């Protein structure tokens, strides 16, 4: 197994453990065990715990960026946006991603070293939404009189707020999706 | 100092420490030191760490409920709603509350014992928004053709999403307030 493979195994093991137990429960010893590598190798490749968290954040971001959830040929910008966003609140692997994202964002509140990654990841996610809004404005499926950057940040915030309610158990996934759909309609459907 | 006073000191010390270091950094020894009480007293009054967190959650909720942020005489429902919600993203003490709320909600993802408190606190906060929306619909300042319960959950989610971005440093408080104001307008202003 090459260095890149081992590095990827460590990152995947970290993501799985964060999804299961949260950042506060993440011990490097457990990561080593789950990834089946020596603890010294984690220190060698990633330095300390914060450096590992930063690398996990970037890795999660790369994974997310590698599949364009708003791409679907032959559909309007509005439909692609709605389908892509609703897909963020469905299924177990998506739930795990939402949990990891929540955890890393929450950690950044207390660990300023993580803030650049949070800001960058947030920015690229919001940019994808903004691009899809612009494409919907161009094809007439999204109202033309709204600012795409502002609306992208707002609907991304609605999704985050609903997603937190979903993963913490205060509303069902079905209710969260209904409300997200309604929010997107009120913000972006032509009047 | 009576038992109630000591109990309150422990709860306040816990809130302060969570705002400073997060739930993951909360050690009962530090709470005892900050509250200037014996560690044994914390175990005696609160049982274990999870029971303390549940009590902290309820205490934070009671504090929030004791001041009705949507109450202001002589103003429309819309204006009271807007002012009350914008007030949630301004100033250091409010920031501390937002951090505590984020932390406790995030903890509930991994600690099911906290879920009832999260659900109940979320419900009573959303209920306050819903009541204010209804009052705005009655005085004509909020559009009549929307469902108050749905809209309350959506604007509360926008606030949570923006608030997380604010406390984790990915957007400024000013930008968060501008976007919240805009979201409230799009959802609730009469057309």
Residues A94-140: tens digit of each pLDDT = 888 888 888 888 888 888 888 888 888 888 889 999 999 999 999 99
- Which residue's structure tokens are 């937002």? B98
A182 C-beta neighbours (distance < 10 Å), count: 18
The answer to whether B70 touches B78, Cβ cutoff 8 Å, is no
Element holding B146 (H helix, E strand): none
CB pairs under 8 A between A and B: 133
Tell me how far apart the alpha carbons of residues A48 and A45 are, in angstroms, rounded to a whole number. 9
Q: How many residues does chain A have?
A: 191
What pLDDT sits at residue B41? 93
Q: Quick check: B129 pLDDT over 70?
A: yes
The answer to whether B124 touches B65, Cβ cutoff 8 Å, is yes
What pLDDT sits at residue B144? 96
Tell me how far apart the alpha carbons of residues B103 and A19 are, in angstroms, rounded to a whole number. 16
Nearest Cβ partner for B157 among A106, A165, A168: A165
Pair (A78, A160) in one structural domain: yes
What pLDDT sits at residue B1? 67
Pair (B13, B65) in one structural domain: no
Tell me how far apart the alpha carbons of residues A5 and A8 are, in angstroms, rounded to a whole number. 5
Q: What integer is the mean pLDDT of A49-76?
A: 83
A54 in a domain, yes or no?
A: no
Q: What is the CATH number of the domain that holds B154?
A: 1.10.357.10
**Please, is B93 exposed, middle or buried when counting C-beta atoms within 10 Å of its C-beta (0-12, 13-18, 19+)?**
exposed
Q: Would you call A170 and B106 a contact, using CB atoms and an 8 Å cutoff? A: no
Q: What integer is the mean pLDDT of A180-186?
A: 96
Q: What is the CATH number of the domain that holds B43?
A: 1.10.10.60
A61 in a domain, yes or no?
A: no
Pair (B96, B158) in one structural domain: yes
Pair (A26, A99) in one structural domain: no
A183 in a domain, yes or no?
A: yes
Interface test with B, best of A161, A171, A180 (most B CBs within 10 A): A161
Pair (B127, B64) in one structural domain: yes
Pair (B168, B116) in one structural domain: yes
**Please, is A29 exposed, middle or buried when counting C-beta atoms within 10 Å of its C-beta (0-12, 13-18, 19+)?**
exposed
Pair (A36, A114) in one structural domain: no
Q: What is the mean pLDDT of chain B?
A: 90
Q: Quick check: B191 pLDDT over 90?
A: no
Q: What integer is the mean pLDDT of A28-48?
A: 94
What pLDDT sits at residue B59? 87
Pair (A107, A170) in one structural domain: yes
What sign results for the dihedral spanned by CA atoms B170, B168, A171, B177? negative
What pLDDT sits at residue A35? 96
Q: Which residues of A touch B (CB under 8 A)?
A: 21-25, 99, 102-103, 105-110, 112, 115, 118-119, 122-123, 150, 153-154, 156-162, 164-165, 167-171, 175, 178-179, 182-183, 186-187, 191
What pLDDT sits at residue A1? 67
Q: Give residue B85's domain range.
A: 57-188
Tell me how far apart the alpha carbons of residues B74 and B72 are, in angstroms, rounded to a whole number. 7
What pLDDT sits at residue B100? 87
Pair (B30, B72) in one structural domain: no
Q: Quick check: A54 pLDDT over 80?
A: yes
A142 in a domain, yes or no?
A: yes
Q: Quick check: B51 pLDDT over 70?
A: yes
What pLDDT sits at residue A148? 97
Pair (A28, A105) in one structural domain: no
Nearest Cβ partner for A186 among B123, B153, B186: B186
Pair (A184, A127) in one structural domain: yes
Pair (B69, B103) in one structural domain: yes
Cα angle B96, B100, B104; round to 5: 175
Structurally, chain A folds into a number of domains equal to: 2
A150 in a domain, yes or no?
A: yes
Q: What ipTM was predicted for this assembly? A: 0.89
B52 in a domain, yes or no?
A: no
Helix axes A92-110, A3-21, angle to 10 degrees: 90
The answer to whether B7 touches B45, Cβ cutoff 8 Å, is yes
A180 in a domain, yes or no?
A: yes
| Nearest by Cα to B156 from A183, A114, A9 | A183
| A95: CB partners within 8 A, 6+ apart | A166, A167
Q: List pLDDT tens digits, range B5-23.
A: 889 999 999 999 999 988 8
What sign results for the dihedral spanned by CA atoms A107, A175, B139, A146? positive
A97 in a domain, yes or no?
A: yes
Q: What integer is the mean pLDDT of B89-116?
A: 86
């Amino acid at each position: 197994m090459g260095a890149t493979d081992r590095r990827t195994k460590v990152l995947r093991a970290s993501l799985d453990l964060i999804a299961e137990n949260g950042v506060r429960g993440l011990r490097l010893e457990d990561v080593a065990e789950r990834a089946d590598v020596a603890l010294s190798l984690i220190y060698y490749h990633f330095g300390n715990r914060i450096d590992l968290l930063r690398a996990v954040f970037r890795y999660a971001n790369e994974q997310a960026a590698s599949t364009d959830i708003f791409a679907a040929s032959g559909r309007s910008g509005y439909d692609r946006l709605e389908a892509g966003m609703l897909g963020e609140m469905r299924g177990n692997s998506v739930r795990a991603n939402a949990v990891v994202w929540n955890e890393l964002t929450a950690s950044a509140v207390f660990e300023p070293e993580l803030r650049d990654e949070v800001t960058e990841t947030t920015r690229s996610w919001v940019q994808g939404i903004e691009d899809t809004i612009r494409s919907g404005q161009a094809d007439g499926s999204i109202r033309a009189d709204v600012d795409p950057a502002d609306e992208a940040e707002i609907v991304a915030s609605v999704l985050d707020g609903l997603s937190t309610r979903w993963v913490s158990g205060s509303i069902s996934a079905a209710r969260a999706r209904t409300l997200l759909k309604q929010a997107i309609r009120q913000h972006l459907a032509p009047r």
